Amino acid sequence: MRKIAVSLAGLLAFTGLCLVTAPVAQAASCEGTYTIVVGGTGDNDSNAPYWQGDISQRVGYPAQPIGYNARQGVNELNRLIRDQRNGCPGQHVKAVGFSLGAAVVHTWVTENWQTIDNVNAVLIADPKRAAGPGNAGAAAHPAIGPFIGFPLAWADNFFGNIPTLTLCTDDIICDLNAASGLPGYLWEGKHGNYNFNVDVYSDDARGQWYNGVYYP
């Protein structure tokens, strides 16, 4: 277990601080849902090809798994959502994050649910996922949390009244006890085995999809 913990720590923090300049945001339409996505580690502009569907905005941030960088992602996500809400006050916001990006969206919801409405969140392979069903995500491991730092460290399911859907399928990033283990992450593609078409997730999606079973 110690060897796995050290390996996971390396996976979550294989690089140090990485500062990037966020791209200049273009005004999004006020029609339909404002869907904003946050990519995982290395996806600094959230423009990776795995994202599909009708995406309104992609969040640019230093996408490396260190708390300081996650904080920048949370701040940029908040800025973009608030700017859009100011311009389109009646528009629904759907925030979708993958892996490190899911932790960013997770943190944003926890910090902002009391001051915003007409929003939902989709967390794909969230390392901050709380236990039940299954184990908690990698950020909750005692050998990893102190290393990566806040707000990325530790796990919770505190989303206030914002509808939030989490997805975790045989993936050690969101479930430390996943049957596929470290080989599943490194060589078997388990961490990318999700639907990244944002249109399949409704504006009121909530609950959990865990290993193919839905838990309300």
CB atoms within 10 A of CB 213: 9
Q: Is the pLDDT of residue 140 over 60?
A: yes
pLDDT number for residue 108: 98
- Cβ pair 173, 135 in contact under 8 A: no
Structure tokens at 197: 């078409």
| pLDDT above 80 for 205 | yes
| Burial grade of 70 (CB within 10 A; 0-12, 13-18, 19 or more) | buried
For the segment 155-190, what is each residue's pLDDT rounded down to a tens digit? 999 999 999 999 999 999 999 999 999 999 999 999
Backbone angles phi, psi at 57, to 5 degrees: -150, 140
Pair 24, 51: CB distance under 8 Å: no
Domain residue extents for the chain: 2-215
Residue 167's closest CA among 209, 212, 214, 121? 209
* Other CB atoms within 10 A of residue 23 CB: 13
Long-range CB pairs of 21-25, under 8 A, 24+ apart, other chains included: 21/60, 22/59, 22/60, 22/61, 22/76, 23/58, 23/60, 25/57, 25/80, 25/83
Q: What pLDDT shows up at residue 15?
A: 30
DSSP 109-147: HHHHGGG--SEEEEEES-TTBPSSSSPPPGGGSTTTHHH
For the domain made up of 2-215, the CATH class stated in words is alpha beta
Instruction: Encode pLDDT of 51-97 as tens digits.
Output: 999 999 999 999 999 999 999 999 999 999 999 999 999 999 999 99
pLDDT for 154 beyond 60: yes
How many Å apart are CA 28 and CA 175, to the nearest integer? Answer: 35
Q: Could you identify the residue written with the tokens 């910090």?
A: 111
The answer to whether 12 and 103 are in contact (CB under 8 A) is no
The helix/strand/coil state of 140 is helix
Looking at residue 26, its pLDDT comes to 52
Q: What is the pLDDT of residue 86?
A: 97
Residue 106's pLDDT is 98
More confident residue, 39 or 3: 39
Task: Select from 210, 199, 214, 156 the least CA-distant residue to 54.
Answer: 199
Q: Residue 92's pLDDT is what? A: 98
Token pair for 72: 């920048």
The 10s digit of each residue's pLDDT in 6-52 is 444 444 443 333 333 444 445 799 999 999 999 999 999 999 999 99
